[in-house]
Amino acid sequence: MTVKVQLGPAGSGGYSESTIEGVAKLGELDLQTLEVEFVHGVTMKNELAKQIGAEAKRLNVPLSVHAPFFINLASKEAKKAEESKKRILDSCERLHYMGGGPVVFHPAYFGGMDKEKVFQIAKEAILDIMKTIQKSGWSNVKLAPETTGKHSALGSLDETIRLVKETGCSMCVDFAHLYARNYGKIDYAEVLDKIEKLKLKHVHSHFSGIEYSAKGELSHLVMDHNPPFEPLAKEILKRRLDITIICESPITFQDSIRMRKVFEGLGHKF
């Protein structure tokens, strides 16, 4: 059985002027995928999303989307919670026209509230969003709440896995975020053991170096910094895991290539 590892950048910046150019550039660099970044808002029109989708289909490039950072499904302000849902749904609509895939988002912040209460609010919001996705006919889109790097945010590995179990959504595991949440420690085998129990057809993930403090994540760093990547690559190949790894370092294309070279050095052929 062939191991399906897909590597690529978060966004097209640094190597291209547009998402379409970024998608086209992947083949030249022997990369397989790209995550479209809507982190500052969804300004892309559906027509452009269709054009990007056509190019991605022509080149056999699977896409994903990162929804805006300004999302808090458990906001104490009802307007902000509804606006958060809309940002996720806008992201879903654009990705539908790009060919479908995971829509990654940070679900909620605790804001001084009881953690279980925040979990339940986020869970109900995700279920509601999934109903709208179904009604809209966007069956090719999967919600992927992400493991988060700050202790103030809902998104530990166990919380994210619980969302998957209780809603049927997908997930995004950010290995750097988990490393930051655990104060510079990560056991890749333990993380992947838990994820494999979900029996996902394909695992969507993020990776980069990371700076952290007592409160968790501070900023993403290049791959010269921890967490180490090669032990993760070895664990993935040992398990023959189907996985997408999106690079979120400050130099996304260059470090995606470095990830590819690590896998090739371990004998993997793309």
pLDDT tens digits, one per residue of 24-61: 999 999 999 999 999 999 999 999 999 999 999 999 99
**Confidence grade of residue 135 (pLDDT, cut at 50, 70, 90):** very high
pLDDT at residue 15 in the model? 74
What span, in angstroms and rounded, lies between the C-alpha atoms of 84 and 67?
Answer: 10
- Whose CA is closest to 255, among 18, 11, 40? 11
User: Which backbone phi and psi does 247 adopt, to 5 degrees?
Assistant: -85, 125
CB atoms closer than 10 angstroms to residue 152: 12
List pLDDT tens digits, range 196-224.
Answer: 999 999 999 999 999 999 999 999 999 99
- Encoding tokens for residue 33? 């995928």
pLDDT of residue 17: 76
As a whole number, mean pLDDT of residues 76-89 equals 98
> What does the alpha-carbon distance between residue 69 and residue 88 come to, in Å, rounded to a whole number?
10
Report the percentage of the chain scoring pLDDT > 70.
100
For residue 134, give every residue at least 6 positions away whose Cβ sits within 8 Å of its Cβ, in sequence order, or none. none
Calculate mean pLDDT across residues 103-125: 98
Tokens standing for residue 222 = 């290049």
What CATH number does domain 5-265 carry, 1.10.10.10, 3.40.605.10, 3.20.20.150, 3.40.50.300?
Answer: 3.20.20.150
* pTM, two decimal places: 0.97
Q: Yes or no: say if 239 and 192 are a contact pair by the CB < 8 Å rule.
A: yes
Among the listed residues 266, 267, 263, the one whose alpha carbon sits nearest the alpha carbon of residue 7? 263
* Angle CA 156–243–217, to nearest 5: 30
Q: Is the pLDDT of residue 103 over 60?
A: yes
Between strands 216-221 and 209-213, the pairing is antiparallel
CA-to-CA distance for 212 and 227, rounded, in angstroms? 11
Read off the pLDDT of residues 153-184 as tens digits, 9 standing for 90 and up: 999 999 999 999 999 999 999 999 999 999 99
Quick one: which of 63, 74, 204, 227 has its CA closest to 149? 227
Closest CA to 182 of 217, 131, 209, 136: 217
The pLDDT assigned to 1 comes to: 57
Averaged pLDDT for residues 124-146: 98
Q: What's the CA gap between 266 and 71, in Å, rounded?
A: 39
Given a contact cutoff of 8 angstroms between Cβ atoms, the answer to whether 157 and 147 are in contact is yes
| Six-digit token string for 83 | 């606006």
* CA geometry: angle 66, 14, 58, nearest 5 deg: 65
**What pLDDT is attached to residue 16?**
76
H or E, element range at 44: none
pLDDT at 3: 80
Give the mean pLDDT of 6-32: 92
Which whole number is the average pLDDT over 65-76? Answer: 97
Distances (CA, A) of 270 to 2, 103, 248: 10, 25, 21
Ranges of each domain in the chain: 5-265
